[in-house]
Amino acid sequence: MTQKRLLLIGWDAADWRMIRPLIDQGKMPNLQKLMQGGVWGNLHTLNPVLSPMLWTSIATGKRPYKHGIYGFAEPDPANNSIRPITNLSRKSKAIWNILNQSGKQSNVVGWWPSDPVEPINGVMVSNLFQSPSANPDKWPLRKTSVHPERLHQPLAEMRLHPTQLDGEALLPFVPRAAEIDQEKDKRLLSLAKIITENASIHAAGTGILQLEPWDFMAIYYDGIDHFGHGFMKYHPPMDPRVSVEDFELYKGVMEGGYRFHDMMLGTLLQLIDADTNVMLISDHGFHPDHLRPQFLPNAPAGPAAEHREYGIFVASGPDFATSGEQIHTGTLLDIAPTILHLFNLPVGNDMDGKVLEKAFSEERPIQSIDSWEAVDGETGQHPPNAQLDPHESEAALQQLVDLGYIDAPNADRTIAIKETIRELDYNLAQSYMDARDYLKTREIASKLWEQWPDESRFGLLKLNCDLAIQNPITIRSTYDLLIERSKIAAKEALQKIAALEKDYTEKGKKVPDDLEEKDRKKFRKLSQKAKVDQAGVRYYLAQVLIAEKAYDQADKVLRQLVKTWPGRQRGLFRRIGELALLRNQPKEAIEWLEKSLELDPDHAIAHLH
């Protein structure tokens, strides 16, 4: 019997809406070949759509409140500060730990989060392996980035620093790169950083794939997500919010990014044999079209609003079906159970996902076990007291700040830790909300809103819980309190802006033109808080009215919003359609739901009605 092998490839934020047109044009031949020899489909993401949480759910088959990874940063108990999220917080076995205790050898490259590397039977390269230093001549590889230690130096030499990238390598992405003044425009440096980081991961992955034994190999690339956050705004069709000059310069970056990934995929496929199974997945998509958000939320991890709810799934190889057809798949939670089933191992009953049976070429019974957490054996996990060198986390933390995933930690460590825990709790509450555990969500949201009454997002989460529970009394009182506190927060923000302007005026400077860097972000956040989102207020008023069965009033509010709330029509059309059903108007409901589906054919909730 042939030994089973699986190569799992992760493309963060890869989206069929970008991929399908490129395949039709013959620009992603390697992915096309993989699809034609296997099966493919959508992969529904989880909320909140934050990559460390999602990739850990992929690796464990469990929701975040079970696996313990809740965000991008966490308190560091070693020095009373903040560090990037680590796998030390993970409370569940990942697929490679289960395979480890089942006698399998795993190689894992770049998974997020995988720092510090775990002492598994195989090779692990952490998600911080490729992060460059400011100085290419002083770029030591973190001790925690490679396991086993014998591969530390060989892999360190495979990394590529952004300053080492030949300028010609940028031309497929930006053909007119030579025209750009790089002293004023830093976007080429950002592009070079994305390319070299993913090239470094690819170099490590291909080297390990060829030179180290394995049963399971996972390689994670974050490039498409980073290309998206930096350059999707310039992707055709032209967004009216960007200048014609910027559009003409950077309109090809996203296509270049996808073709770059397809080329790397081609190399991986050349390095494996016909007996190897391949699975290619993404954790979510990325809006490339008219559904791109018009603004980003005034909150940590605001860029996640650019993510689309569907990632990709492709499976090909001797154990998978070979029809080349689209199949109805599931969620990220289904990947770990499907991998266990591939290796003839039981699925944990405490996992939240299921086996994607339609992906396989042959039906066979699915084995189960109460929980892999209770199974003894060497798993390759960290010992309970494992800790990190705090100095090695600083550069990685700054990278998260630069990407907009987290705010720069407060200089006061006590406040920084308190705010970090706040964001972890907020993400945890959203995870419970996604699982429809409304009581648990409401409990956490209520505590957060009590501590931070000026943070409307906490009140909004509580309101959404009340709407889900359908208690009209608490719905109205929560809504009224939310409006009251939003107005107070706006007034306080205006006062702080006035004080800032006075301070700069006394120095002979203007706001915002002459703002120092430390005040620029502060001013932007205050400006956003100073404006009460009137459209959002009206939308939630409609939800309150629906809960109170004031259907005609709610319908009037929603129809007015259609004219005044650009970028939200998909959801508004669906909501008016749902309201028409409540008003016993099925014909009108169909008309509005079809309008929603015209904007987004993948809008699953509209299909369900």
- Residue pLDDT, tens place only, 541-563: 999 999 999 999 999 999 999 98
Average pLDDT, the chain: 93
pLDDT band at 274 (very low <50, low <70, confident <90, very high): very high
Distance CA 188, CA 180 (A): 8
pLDDT band at 405 (very low <50, low <70, confident <90, very high): low
Q: How many CB atoms lie within 10 A of CB 556?
A: 13
pLDDT of residue 514: 84
150 burial type by CB count under 10 A (0-12 exposed, 13-18 middle, 19+ buried) = exposed
Distance CA 277, CA 214 (A): 13
Return the SS3 of 573: helix
pLDDT band at 403 (very low <50, low <70, confident <90, very high): low
- Residue pLDDT, tens place only, 328-382: 889 999 999 999 999 999 999 999 999 999 999 999 999 999 999 999 999 999 9
pLDDT of residue 393: 63
pLDDT of residue 527: 87
Q: How many CB atoms lie within 10 A of CB 11?
A: 28
Strands 122-125 and 106-109 turn out to be parallel
Minimum mean pLDDT range among 46-50, 157-161, 401-405: 401-405
- Residue pLDDT, tens place only, 117-165: 999 999 999 999 999 988 888 899 988 999 999 999 999 999 999 999 9
- Nearest alpha-carbon partner for 382 in 87, 103, 142: 87
Strands 6-11 and 277-281 turn out to be parallel
- Determine phi and psi for 107, rounding to 5 degrees: -120, 125
- Residue pLDDT, tens place only, 474-531: 999 999 999 999 999 999 999 999 998 998 898 888 888 888 877 887 888 888 888 8
pLDDT at 1 over 60: no
pLDDT band at 298 (very low <50, low <70, confident <90, very high): low
- Residue pLDDT, tens place only, 131-142: 998 888 889 998
- Residue pLDDT, tens place only, 208-235: 999 999 999 999 999 999 999 999 999 9
498 burial type by CB count under 10 A (0-12 exposed, 13-18 middle, 19+ buried) = exposed
- Nearest alpha-carbon partner for 101 in 338, 386, 346: 346
pLDDT band at 567 (very low <50, low <70, confident <90, very high): confident
- Helices 569-582 and 586-599: crossing angle in degrees, nearest 10, is 160
pLDDT of residue 402: 67
pLDDT of residue 155: 98
- Nearest alpha-carbon partner for 132 in 202, 51, 196, 225: 196
Return the SS3 of 20: helix
Name the one residue in this structure whose structure tokens are 């999602």: 54
